Amino acid sequence: MSNGILDIDTASRLKGFHFRTRSSVRGQKSGIHKSLYKGVSPDFMEYKEYNRGDELKQVDWRLYGRHDRLYVKKYEDEVNLSWCIMLDKSASMDYGDEGSNKLSFSKKLSATLAYLLLRQGDSVGLSCYSELESDIIPPRSGNSSIMPIVEKLENVVSEGNTALRKPLLEALEVYKSSATFAIVSDFLMEPREIRESLQLLRASRKDVTLFHVLHPDETDFGFEGSVEFQDMESDAKVIVDTRSIRHTYMKRVREFKEELRSMCHEFECRYVFTASDVSVEEPLIDIADK
Amino acid sequence: MNFSFLSPIFLIGIAAVSLPVIAHLISRKSGFKKRFPALRFLLASQGEMATRSRLKDLILLLLRALTIVLIALLFAKPAVFSFSTADSSEPRSLALVIDNSFSMGYGENFKKAKKEAERLIDSTPDGSFFTALPLVPERGETISVIQDRDTARKSLNKIPLSQTYTDNERRLEQVYSALEKAPNEEKQVVLITDFQKNGWRREDYTRKWLTLIDVTETPAPGNRAVTDVESRYTKESIKVKLRVSNFSDSDTSELLTEAKLSGEKIKAYIDIAPGDFTTGEFIFPRTRTNEEPEASGSASIPEDELRLDDKRHFVLSRSGALNVLIVDGDPREDSRLSESYYLASAAETASELLRSRIRIKDNDSFLDEELSAYDLIFLTNVGEITPGKAKDLEGFIEQGGTAVIFPGDRVRAGSYNTLLQNILPGELGAPAQTDSTLVSVETDMFSDDLFKKISQARVNRSFTLIPAEGSETILKLSDETPFLTHTSHGEGNVFLFTSTADTSWSNFAITPVFAPVIKEFLDFESLSNTKRRNYIVGDSVAIDRSSAASSIEVKDPVGENYKIDPQEPVFSDTSRIGIYKVLIEGEEAYEFSVNLDPLESNLEKISRFSVESEPESELGLVKVFKELWRYFLWGVIALFISESVARALFS
């Protein structure tokens, strides 16, 4: 059952799943993510000889009984994580009918992800961006934080051209401590800009997940006859014989996806491709841990 | 073989060739529009495909357009046809008449005509009989109809291009006469021609069985030709006058013309307006070479598509010794008192310069004399002229002779006026006393020196004369009455004095003027008495020979010899243009030229409409069609396959 842009059914089905980062992160609260800081945690990591200043409650007295020496238990600390979900609201995202519209799909994906993340104790922020502007909600934790996010997403209207670098810089100013960026976009821009953006994120030691959303028309090019195509972000037009160009076009799209995947691999980012006519469950499962 | 369509209405379908292009243009303008985000991939793809796509589009467009054209042609039922007798499958007797008049020498027309005739021989049903004939018949021709195609082809290929003109209708009648006796019931006469106007007397000539095939392009091409050349001696020079005609619709400017005479050459440039002619005159100084009694030369223009008429030949001839007859109507015992004495003396003086044979006869002998043996006759005080002799004299003048008449006391004006009324330059009146001197009249017959001395002559008695219309007064008396008048008659000339040739009526005979005046008559006759040496193709040439000649031959321009019967010395084989030589007793006697009839140089055609105005069915001819739709159908199928293959290759 769906509740507006928040897919409650999907969220329910993904209840047992956790969304983790690939690397250890700095966190402020206890959570499921491995912390860079060692401390109290259910997961034992190693013993260490007691030194002055160590808390006595961390001394393993049973070991002292056997070896007559003081050892302190060290635990891997689990911390909560701050997420930044970046939603591309450029004009090119508003493609497709109801049920397959890229922006609607992306909103649902973002809302559901935000809900699940909040449920596992992470704090979540949102940036709806285009070349023209970035509309940012700072990261907050707690289940109630889902409401402003959903409201924001419901009011997002597509506008402007696709861009990444500039909105990212703006987001990094706000999400200084956020460890993970989830970017939902069609990435219909110059690959060079995507590369620069990923470089920037990785240099800022952020974990990155790219949700690459394309409409089936864009991947399968299921048009017939001679069609005059007009760009959604500019005045460019082109008349093509769809039949003769289909093969070449699809090859181009495949190459682009491969390039993105390769870029993500290079920068240790997660790349999730999804069509806009599927359930949001599919891309979310791709990044979830059981 | 002609090309036609049996259902030409379907040719409208060819317009459908524009449909693929229009469809393409319409689809470009009003096709399905779509807003699309991934346009960058489309642009990139299109750039990659653009060249290949353009080539593909062009090839496919061509194939499709060609297919549409072929389909339209297919429905229009293409066919080739030829004219044939009603039942084309029936064997027939076919007379192929090739126009070999010289106008067919234009470009490749003659070759094309033979090729067309060969095709007809090959396409005629088995069992047919053939005869291939030139439109200009050859001497001694026999028309035979044969069944063997090879022999027919050989006789066709032997037909030469003639250098003469044609009389098409007369020739076709000959062909019809021969064909009527031919074996098959079906007959056909095919004339392959250029339709040059000169060959047709009637443009509406029609005949049963007749098929006319035009081998030329329409409209008739232009042509330039040397259409006439004249040459004559003057005292100081030889003048060659040529006429160049422009039978075309455009101006001819700076056309190089050239005249050759005895190895000498003169060139000049002329301009000719369309449809007009220009006359040019070349003046050669008299030299030893061209002083010969016979000199030959040519006048030409640069060769064009019709080469034969770009050059004309001429032979310049002067007579040999002049035969002069002096008829003395009042001879005296003392010959020095006779009028003939003064005349003979003057003529003999001139003979030192001009070769002449002078005979003197009295009135009676004159009446029996054969005048045609003479070139110049002086009649002095001849009182008796019979009507028969008057007629002889008239004939003599008509043939080119010159008569100089001095009246005297024996002459009766009325008798002269009656008998010689056709040749006299005026009507003689009664003789009357006068006391006058001679006065010159503007004329080019006498030199200025002679005119200065003319007033020394005094005349005491003379006939009055009323000059006839068309005559000219050369000398007159100071009382304004005529003294010497001239008129032309036929090809000859008559000069009439009004006084005597002795000293009884005037002192004219003893003045220094008399001998030069008589010499002028001899000169005049000598210059005008050139023999005819220039003919056109087809003319009969009367050979000049002495009656004693036993062997006469004529050598034509290509060196072929013809023997001439000395009893009837006429040469008729003037079918080649150029210079002919006459050999008498094996010795070269003189030359004559044969040129084209200039009428054929004008390539203007008759209207084919008028020739074919009689319905073909009435001519007994039908169009025999051979449909070609099968070839077009195969073509359409081949194009369909090609289009499919091309599409598959490019997809």
Helix (H), strand (E), coil (C) string for B412-460: CHHHHHHHCCCCCCEEEEEEEEEEEEEEECCCCCCCHHHHHHHHHCEEE
Q: Give every CB contact of residue A251 below 8 A, 6+ residues apart in sequence.
A: B45
Q: Looking at the structure, do residues A162 and A276 belong to the same domain, yes or no?
A: yes
In this prediction, residues B608-633 reach a mean pLDDT of 59
Closest CA to A147 of A289, A1, A275, A6: A6
Does residue B617 have a pLDDT over 80?
A: no
B336: phi then psi, degrees, rounded to nearest 5: -70, -15
Chain B neighbors of A232, CB-CB under 8 A: 35-37, 39
Confidence of residue B289 (pLDDT cuts 50, 70, 90): low
Q: CATH no. for residue B510? A: 3.40.50.880
Residues B400 and B521 in one domain: yes
Q: Does A163 touch chain B (CB under 8 A)?
A: no
CATH of residue A256's domain is 3.40.50.410
pLDDT greater than 90 at residue B196 = no
Which range among A54-63, A122-131, A205-214, B629-638 shows the weakest confidence by mean pLDDT? A54-63
Place of tokens 């682009």: A256
At A253, the pLDDT band (50, 70, 90 cuts) reads very high
Q: Chain A: give the shortest CA distance to residue B70, in Å.
A: 27
Q: Examine the domain organization and report whether B441 and B351 are in the same domain.
A: yes
Highest mean pLDDT among A45-59, B110-124, B160-174: B110-124
Residue B161 has pLDDT above 50, yes or no: yes
Q: Is residue B41 part of a domain?
A: yes
Residue A40 pLDDT > 50: no
Q: Are residues B356 and B444 in the same domain?
A: yes
Per the domain annotation, does A45 fall within a domain? Answer: yes
Token reading at A94: 């508003």
Contact B141, B221 (CB under 8 A): no
The answer to whether residue B275 is domain-embedded is no
Nearest CA among A22, A52, A21, A55 for reference residue A38: A55
Distance CA A275, CA A18 (A): 23
Asked if B223 and B596 count as a contact pair (C-beta separation under 8 A), the reply is no
Residues in Cβ contact with B491 at an 8 Å cutoff, skipping those fewer than 6 apart? B398, B399, B400
Residues B308-365: tens digit of each pLDDT: 889 999 987 765 667 889 999 988 887 777 888 888 888 887 665 556 788 899 999 9
Please determine, for residue B570, whether its predicted confidence score (pLDDT) is greater than 80. Answer: yes
Q: Do A233 and B37 touch (CB under 8 A)?
A: yes
Whether the predicted pLDDT of A38 surpasses 50: no
Both tokens assigned to A12: 């329910």
- Chain A contact present for B630, CB below 8 A: no
Whole-number pLDDT of residue B20: 74
Distance of CA A123 to the CA centre of its chain: 13
Whether residue A128 sits in one domain with residue A200: yes
A1 in any annotated domain: no
Residue ranges of alpha helices (H) inside B483-605 are 514-528
B364 in the same domain as B336: yes
CB atoms inside a 10 Å sphere around CB B332: 13
Residues of A in contact with B39 (CB under 8 A): 229-232, 234, 236, 238
- The answer on A57 and A161 residing in a single domain is no
CA-CA distance, B517 to B509, in Å (whole number)?
10
State yes or no: pLDDT of B115 exceeds 80. Answer: yes
Q: Which pLDDT score, from 0 to 100, does residue B616 have?
A: 44
A254-284 residues labelled b (16+ CB within 10 A) or e (exposed): eebbeebbebbeebebbbbbbbbeebbbebb
SS3 content of chain B, % helix, strand, coil (to 5): 30, 35, 35
Whether residue A222 sits in one domain with residue A167: yes
Q: Note whether A182 and A193 are same-domain residues.
A: yes
- Are B523 and B538 within one domain? no
For residue B111, pLDDT over 70 is answered with yes
* pLDDT higher at A87 or B166: A87
Is there a domain that residue B261 lies in? no
Q: State pLDDT tens for residues A215-247.
A: 999 999 989 888 889 999 888 888 888 888 898
Does residue B343 lie in a domain region? yes
Lowest pLDDT segment from A230-234, B165-169, B417-421, B576-580:
B165-169
How large is the average pLDDT for residues B441-460?
Answer: 73
- Residue B366 phi, psi dihedral angles, 5° rounding: -55, -40
Question: Is B558 at the interface with chain A, CB within 8 A?
Answer: no
pLDDT band at B620 (very low <50, low <70, confident <90, very high): very low
The DSSP annotation for B280-336 comes to EEEEEEP-TTTTSSEEEEEEE----SS-GGGEEEEEEE--SSEEEEEEESS--SSGG
Q: Indicate the residue type of B197.
A: K
Residue B291 has a pLDDT of: 57
**Is residue A231 situated within a structural domain?**
yes
Section B428-442 average pLDDT: 83
A15 plus A50 within the same structural domain = no
Identity of the residue numbered A211: F
Looking at the predicted structure, is the pLDDT value of residue A6 above 60? yes
A37 lies in which domain range? 30-79
Query: At residue B146, does pLDDT exceed 90?
Result: no
Nearest CA in chain B to A243: B651
Indicate whether A25 pLDDT > 60: no
Residue B454 lies in a domain: yes
* Interface contacts (A, B; CB < 8 Å): 90
State how far the alpha carbon of B564 is from the alpha carbons of A38, A145, B552, in Å. Answer: 147, 140, 5
Q: CB distance from A225 to chain B under 8 Å?
A: yes
The DSSP letter of residue B103 is G
- Both B190 and B338 in one domain: the answer is no
Residue B534 CA to residue B541 CA, distance in Å, equals: 9
Q: Does the distance separating the beta carbons of B46 and A238 come in below 8 Å?
A: yes
Q: Share the mean pLDDT of chain B.
A: 82
Claim to verify: residue B488 and residue B367 sit in the same structural domain: yes
Q: B581: domain range? A: 534-594
Q: Give me the number of domains chain A comprises.
A: 2
Same domain? For B609 and B478 the reply is no
pLDDT of residue B445: 62
Is residue A25 a part of any domain in this protein? no
The string over B570-590, giving b where at least 16 C-beta atoms fall within 10 Å of a residue's C-beta and e elsewhere, is: ebeebbebebbbbbbeeeebb
A226 interface with B at CB cutoff 8 Å: yes
Query: Is residue B82 predicted with pLDDT exceeding 80?
Result: no
pLDDT score, position B580: 92
For residue B280, which amino acid is it?
G
Chain-chain contact of A227 with B32 (C-beta, under 8 angstroms): yes
A171 and A58 in a single domain? The answer is: no
CB contact under 8 A, B36 and A230: yes
Rounded mean pLDDT of B592-598? 88
Query: Is the same domain home to A60 and A134?
Result: no
In the numeric block, the tokens 């064997």 are attached to: B91
**CB–CB contact B35 A229 (8 Å):** yes
Q: How many domains are contained in chain B?
A: 4
The residue of A227, A242, A259 whose CB has the most chain B CBs within 10 angstroms, and thus the best one to mutate to test that interface, is A227
Contact B210, B608 (CB under 8 A): no
Are residue A70 and residue A92 in the same domain, yes or no? no
pLDDT digits (tens, 9 = 90+) for B43-73: 888 776 666 667 777 888 888 888 989 998 8
Q: Provide the token pair at B569.
A: 């010395």
Residues B430 and B548 in one domain: no
> Does A26 score more than 50 pLDDT?
no
Domain shared by A63 and A14, yes or no: no
Q: Does residue A268 come out as left (phi exceeding 0), alpha (psi in the -120 to 50 range) or beta?
A: left
Identify which of B297, B301, B311 has the alpha carbon closest to the alpha carbon of residue B261: B297
Across the range B101-121, mean pLDDT stands at 88
Domain assignment present for B251 = no
The reply to whether B109 and B142 lie within a common domain is: yes
Whole-complex ipTM: 0.80
B332 and B476 in a single domain? The answer is yes
Most confident of B5-9, B170-174, B520-524: B170-174
Long-range CB contact pairs, B14-20, < 8 A, 24+? B14/B68, B14/B69, B14/B72, B14/B73, B16/B68, B16/B72, B17/B65, B17/B68, B17/B69, B17/B72, B19/B68, B20/B61, B20/B64, B20/B65, B20/B68
Name the residue in chain B with its Cα closest to that of A251: B45
Please indicate, yes or no, whether residues A92 and A106 belong to a single structural domain of this protein.
yes
Look up the CATH number of the domain holding residue B543.
2.60.40
Q: Does pLDDT of B89 surpass 90?
A: no
The two beta strands, B92-98 and B129-134, are parallel
Q: Which of B22, B26, B34, B41 to mutate to test the interface with A (most CBs of A within 10 A)?
A: B41
- Note the pLDDT of residue B181: 79
Kindly state whether residue B559 falls inside one of the protein's structural domains: yes
Asked if the structure places residue B441 within a domain, the reply is yes
Looking at the fold, whether B149 and B172 belong to one and the same domain comes out as yes
Kindly write down the DSSP assignment for every residue of B322-386, as one continuous string: EEEEEEESS--SSGGGSHHHHHHHHHHHHHTTS-EEEEEEEHHHHHH--GGG-SEEEEES-----
CATH label of the domain that carries residue B101: 3.40.50.410
Closest residue in chain A to residue B650, using alpha carbons only = A244
* pLDDT at residue A39 tops 50: no
Cα torsion A245, A248, A253, A254: sign: positive
Q: Could you give the percent of chain A with pLDDT greater than 90?
A: 40
Shared domain for A61 and A85, answered yes or no, is: no
Mean pLDDT of chain A: 83
